[in-house]
Copies of this chain bind each other. A is one copy, B any other.
Amino acid sequence: MAAIEQIAANRSFGGWHRRYRHTSAVLGCDMQFAVYLPPQVEQGERLPVLYWLSGLTCTDENFMQKAGAQRLAAELGLVIVAPDTSPRGAGVPDDPDGAWDFGLGAGFYVNATQQPWAAHYRMYDYVVSELPALVEANFPVTAQRSISGHSMGGHGALVCALKNPGRYQSVSAFAPISNPSNCPWGQKALGNYLGPERDSWKAWDTCELLAQASERLPLLVDQGEDDSFLAEQLQPEALQAAAERVGHPLTLRRQPGYDHSYYFIASFIDDHLRHHARALGRPG
């Protein structure tokens, strides 16, 4: 079993926020992740896990510090795991211009096929397989999993769930990049990680995956109407159209006045936690 090393611990709402470092075989580098362990863990309960995927530029810390999720997670008995958003460290290539929307902090939750990215940028395999195996081996959790995320991480959550029927009990997203094949962030990332052949992008695009999904897991999506990335990058109307074409259950909530920040996420995280808790069989 791969070793994990604790690098921080903070008591939080009767449970623990803890950060760990480990060597990722999938990503070929050391990675850090954060775990919120609610108080029921200390009473010997095994709990289900919500995986949270963050957006561009984030690390494991943003969600844990800013979303205010621990209060209700403690009440519901949900473990939350927040990975980093890309491989990191010596030898991991970055955007040649140092841009914030590609490379470090922007792994896009795909498995890269193109050089120089393919050796390290395999965040999809990391999030779907390696990290859950590590979590399930090291913490008192069940194999019940849910997944959520924000922006690039909303895209990641939807893609991970749609590509793996049966693996997640529920899925949700905040302001996801719904149709990366058709927006600048997505085209840059997919074009570099997967190459210019657009057919190869379809396996990583929620709007494409919805058409073939064999499992119709309901999607809960919140989107701020004053999000500055709304029209160009996020395109919730494409998500809505793709879901309607195949009758995929989608609850898309447009929230007037809200932007792309963690103030938006914090305002609605409780609804998402309750959505996941219901699917995971937690009371509340």
Bound-state Cα–Cα, A13 to B261, Å = 13
In the complex the two chains form, is B66's CB within 8 Å of A259's CB? no
Interface residue A263 (Cβ < 8 Å from any Cβ of B): yes
| Contact partners of A120 in chain B: CB under 8 A | none
A-side interface size class: 20 to 34
Interface residue A224 (Cβ < 8 Å from any Cβ of B): yes
Residue of B nearest to A261 (CB): B10
Bound-state Cα–Cα, A11 to B257, Å = 6
Bound-state Cα–Cα, A226 to B10, Å = 9
Q: Which secondary structure characterizes the binding site on chain A?
A: mixed
| Contact partners of A261 in chain B: CB under 8 A | 10
In the complex the two chains form, is A11's CB within 8 Å of B266's CB? no
Q: Which A157-196 residues have C-beta < 8 A from chain B?
A: none
In the complex the two chains form, is A263's CB within 8 Å of B68's CB? no
| Contact partners of A51 in chain B: CB under 8 A | none
Bound-state Cα–Cα, A270 to B74, Å = 15
Residue of B nearest to A255 (CB): B11
Interface residue A17 (Cβ < 8 Å from any Cβ of B): yes
Interface residue A32 (Cβ < 8 Å from any Cβ of B): no
The minimal Cβ–Cβ distance linking A210 to chain B, given in whole angstroms, is: 29
Interface residue A254 (Cβ < 8 Å from any Cβ of B): no
The minimal Cβ–Cβ distance linking A37 to chain B, given in whole angstroms, is: 12
In the complex the two chains form, is B11's CB within 8 Å of A70's CB? no
Q: Which A186-210 residues have C-beta < 8 A from chain B?
A: none
Closest 8 pairs between A and B when the two form their complex, measured CB to CB: A68-B68, A10-B263, A11-B257, A12-B263, A11-B258, A13-B267, A10-B261, A65-B66
